[in-house]
């Protein structure tokens, strides 16, 4: 039997468009001789639909779309396994299931329902769905299918040292006689997961000595990026087919032999290194976010620094260089080299470039505000007063720049991309309504040390980012001779502390026990805690690590 793994890029709420994608892929699969085409989790409505699931009209539209699909497949020789939100006849609970329908010969012959509903990190499925009360093997053309949905396969006792759930749907399916395991997923991308997920799936196939087919969604949705990278794994745990990473794909797998054929023209396999993969994920997330929010063009501030250079390169890749505008906004503190680097970058990338000096506006702000700032200054030592005045002037410059960029965004109908990295955002080294202004925070989940790695990966084939940008000391250039390290620890140290604190969950005593300097660790943790209110107001940011500043981080703003 031949099976097609169809990784698609559905749009939330586009029932007609998503159905067209399914039908087009099914036609390709049938032409290739596939008996079965497998599609991602909730593909008919898109994932994650969040609170749209609480709207009756949304569920009705999803189920109506399923019925139209069933009718359209009446003459197809290829059966289809497709994800949809199913309304249950229940007197208690949510009355809704995360389900997958097996359609064969113009009728639904089986419905599989998700058993394990994740609530960690970005997931909140208990908010909407009821778990399956049982699992059942599905007879299909001489095979016995064990159909599971996403999280159902993430609870293998032999793989995980600590399991989140007491039950294992895969074990139940195998004991029920399944000879082929199928997992339909919408599994978001992270750099670590691109290594973990194949190992976990291979271990599951090897443990139960069953072939395993995994089909994953692809595309960007708000802060999440779905990487595709679907897999066919034989009963020994060997990967025999792999879908493209960060691209739609259709892969035909012959279960009778460890062979596979690609039915689309997409390049096979993964893009290579973690750095190249992360760049592809960020470009995909930016492209889909802009497109689904109604933008075809973008702009950003170009400072001559590495963060804005990386975001500009990602934007050019995502939207096309002709659709990206870089804006340099020098002040009295900007170095001539920074302006040259910004202009050189724009030329290398082929994006549009303009210069708007903030000096007249900054000077006007200082003059206009001087009486009020002096009259209502807080008390304290002269040193404290000078520090407050300095910080006020720095933030004014950032907010003038934010206003300029938003004006251009409004006038030209461009999506404003903010350029702050994860290290800065974590420690509050950013200005509300200034450099944090924007519609998408492209690299807000990219630590500064990774920013450098991604920039050098970009430059491996073509020197896009000027060498001076890569080698000069990072600086906001908001006061004379300023560098980031005036306020922050060296970035390699800072990122190590942030990784342990944010992802590892270690607080100050554990950080010191790990060997970090107590004073440095205390200052970093304090900055993280005090900056929560800023992050709550920032634009959505693309998630590529295990813990980002988005829906998966739920910390109180006001706390001791």
Instruction: Specify whether 41 is catalytic.
Output: yes
Contact 432, 438 (CB under 8 A): no
Helix, coil or strand: residue 352? strand
Q: Give the confidence band of 267 by pLDDT, cuts at 50, 70, 90.
A: very low
* Mean pLDDT confidence for 352-370: 94
Residue range 232-263, pLDDT digits in tens: 999 999 999 999 999 999 999 998 876 556 56
The pLDDT of 19-41, averaged and rounded, is 97
Given a cut of 80, whether residue 490 has pLDDT beyond it is: yes
pLDDT at 195: 95
Taking a C-beta distance cutoff of 8 angstroms, is the pair 100, 82 a contact? yes
Question: What pLDDT is attached to residue 262?
Answer: 55
Mean pLDDT of the region 507-535? 95
Mean pLDDT within 429-453: 96
Supply angle C-alpha 47, 16, 67, rounded to 5: 90
Share of the chain above pLDDT 90, in %: 84
pLDDT grade, residue 83 (50/70/90)? very high
For the cut 90, the answer to whether the pLDDT of residue 483 exceeds it is: no
Name the architecture of domain 2-268.
4-Layer Sandwich (3.60)
What's the pLDDT tens digit per position in 370-393?
988 888 877 778 878 888 888 888
**pLDDT tens-digit profile of 206-216?**
999 999 999 99
- Show Cβ contacts of residue 231 under 8 Å, excluding neighbours closer than 6 positions: 5, 198, 201, 212, 213, 214, 239, 241, 242, 243
> How many angstroms separate the most distant Cα atoms in the chain?
85
- Sheet of 239-242: strand order equals 138-140, 143-149, 180-185, 212-216, 231-233, 239-242
Check residues 473 and 392 and name the one with the higher pLDDT: 392
Average pLDDT over residues 43-47: 97
In whole angstroms, what is the distance from residue 251 CA to residue 253 CA?
6
Domain residue extents for the chain? 2-268, 276-488+531-536
pLDDT tens sequence across 94-152: 999 999 999 999 999 999 999 999 999 999 999 999 999 899 999 999 999 999 999 99
Catalytic residue among 150, 422, 448, 547: 150
Q: What is the mean pLDDT of the segment spanning 480-502?
A: 85
Q: Which of 30, 41, 266, 275 is catalytic?
A: 41
Task: Choose, from 114, 448, 543, 547, the residue flagged as catalytic.
Answer: 114
Residue 265 has pLDDT above 90, yes or no: no
Give me the CATH code for the 276-488+531-536 domain, please: 3.40.50.620
Task: State the residue for tokens 């963060």.
Answer: 307
pLDDT in tens, 297-314: 999 999 999 999 999 999
Say what the pLDDT of residue 473 is.
Answer: 78
| Tally of CB atoms within 10 A around 266 | 19
Residues paired with 300 in a beta bridge: 326
Q: Is the pLDDT of residue 270 over 70?
A: no
| pLDDT over 70, % of the chain | 96
The pLDDT confidence band at residue 412, using thresholds 50, 70 and 90, is very high
Which pLDDT band, with edges at 50, 70 and 90, does 537 fall under? very high
pLDDT of residue 486: 67
DSSP character for 244?
Answer: P
pLDDT at 390: 84
Q: Is 60 a catalytic residue?
A: no
Q: How far from 71 is each of 37, 67, 101, 189, 512, CA to CA, in Å?
A: 16, 6, 14, 34, 64
Q: Provide mean pLDDT across the span 23-29.
A: 97
Does the pLDDT at position 290 exceed 70?
yes
Q: What does the block give as tokens for 325?
A: 């505008």
Question: Which among 526, 449, 454 is positioned nearest to 493, based on CA atoms?
Answer: 449
User: Does residue 268 have a pLDDT over 60?
Assistant: no
- How high does pLDDT run on average in the chain? 93
- 114 in active site: yes
Mean pLDDT of all residues in 504-514: 95
The structure tokens listed for 216 are: 């994953």
269 has a pLDDT exceeding 70 = no
What is the average per-residue pLDDT within 433-441? 96
pLDDT given at position 271: 59
The predicted-structure confidence for 145-166, as pLDDT tens digits, reads as follows 999 999 999 999 899 988 999 9
Query: Is pLDDT at 485 greater than 80 in this prediction?
Result: no
- Indicate whether 416 pLDDT > 80: yes
Q: pLDDT at position 139, please?
A: 95
Q: Which residue has the tokens 């990386």?
A: 310
């Amino acid at each position: 039997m031949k099976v097609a793994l169809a990784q698609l890029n559905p749009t939330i709420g586009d029932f007609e468009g998503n159905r067209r994608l399914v039908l087009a892929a099914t036609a390709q699969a049938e032409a290739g001789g596939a008996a079965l085409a497998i599609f991602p989790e909730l593909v008919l409505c898109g994932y994650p639909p969040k609170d749209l699931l609480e709207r009756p009209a949304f569920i009705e539209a999803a189920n109506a779309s399923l019925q139209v699909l069933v009718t359209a497949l009446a003459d197809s020789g290829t059966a289809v396994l497709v994800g949809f939100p199913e309304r249950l006849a229940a007197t208690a609970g949510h009355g809704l299931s995360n389900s997958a329908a097996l359609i064969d010969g113009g009728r639904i012959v089986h419905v599989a329902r998700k058993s394990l509903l994740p609530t960690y990190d970005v997931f909140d499925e208990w908010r909407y769905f009821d778990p399956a009360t049982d699992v059942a093997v599905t007879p299909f053309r001489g095979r016995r299918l064990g159909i599971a949905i996403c999280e159902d396969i993430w609870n293998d006792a032999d793989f995980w040292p600590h399991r989140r759930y007491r039950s294992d749907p895969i074990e139940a399916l195998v004991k029920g006689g399944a000879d082929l395991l199928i997992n339909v997923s919408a599994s978001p991308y992270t750099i670590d997961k691109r290594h973990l997920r194949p190992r976990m799936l291979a271990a599951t196939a090897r443990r139960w000595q069953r072939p395993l087919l995994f089909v994953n969604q692809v595309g960007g949705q708000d802060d999440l990026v779905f990487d595709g990278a679907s897999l066919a794994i034989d009963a020994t745990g060997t990967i025999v087919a792999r879908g493209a990473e960060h691209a739609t794909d259709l892969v035909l797998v012959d279960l009778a032999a460890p062979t596979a054929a690609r039915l689309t023209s997409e390049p096979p396999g993964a893009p290579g290194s973690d750095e190249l993969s992360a760049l592809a994920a960020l470009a995909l997330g930016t492209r889909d976010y802009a497109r689904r929010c109604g933008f075809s063009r973008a702009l950003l501030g170009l400072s001559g620094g590495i963060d804005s250079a990386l975001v500009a390169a990602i934007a050019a890749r995502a939207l096309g260089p002709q659709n990206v505008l870089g804006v340099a906004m020098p002040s009295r503190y900007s170095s001539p080299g920074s302006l040259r680097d910004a202009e050189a970058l724009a030329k290398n990338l082929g994006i549009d470039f303009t210069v708007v000096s903030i000096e007249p506006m900054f000077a006007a702000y200082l003059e206009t505000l001087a009486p009020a700032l002096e009259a209502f200054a807080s008390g304290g030592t002269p040193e404290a007063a000078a520090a407050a005045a300095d910080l006020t002037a720095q933030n004014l410059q950032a907010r003038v720049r934010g206003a300029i960029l938003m004006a251009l965004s409004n006038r030209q109908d461009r999506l404003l991309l903010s350029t702050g990295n994860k290290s800065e955002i974590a420690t509050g080294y950013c200005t509300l309504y200034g450099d944090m202004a924007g519609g998408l925070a492209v690299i807000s989940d990219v630590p500064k040390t990774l920013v450098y790695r991604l920039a050098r990966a970009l430059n491996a084939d073509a020197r896009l980012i000027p060498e001076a940008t890569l080698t000069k000391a990072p600086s906001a250039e908001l006061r004379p001779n300023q560098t980031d390290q005036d306020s922050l620890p060296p970035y390699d140290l800072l990122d190590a502390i942030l990784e342990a604190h944010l992802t590892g969950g270690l607080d100050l005593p554990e950080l010191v026990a790990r060997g970090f300097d107590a004073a440095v660790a205390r200052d970093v943790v304090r900055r993280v805690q005090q900056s929560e209110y800023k992050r709550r107001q920032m634009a959505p940011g693309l998630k590529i690590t295990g813990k980002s500043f988005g829906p998966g981080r739920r910390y109180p703003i006001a706390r001791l």
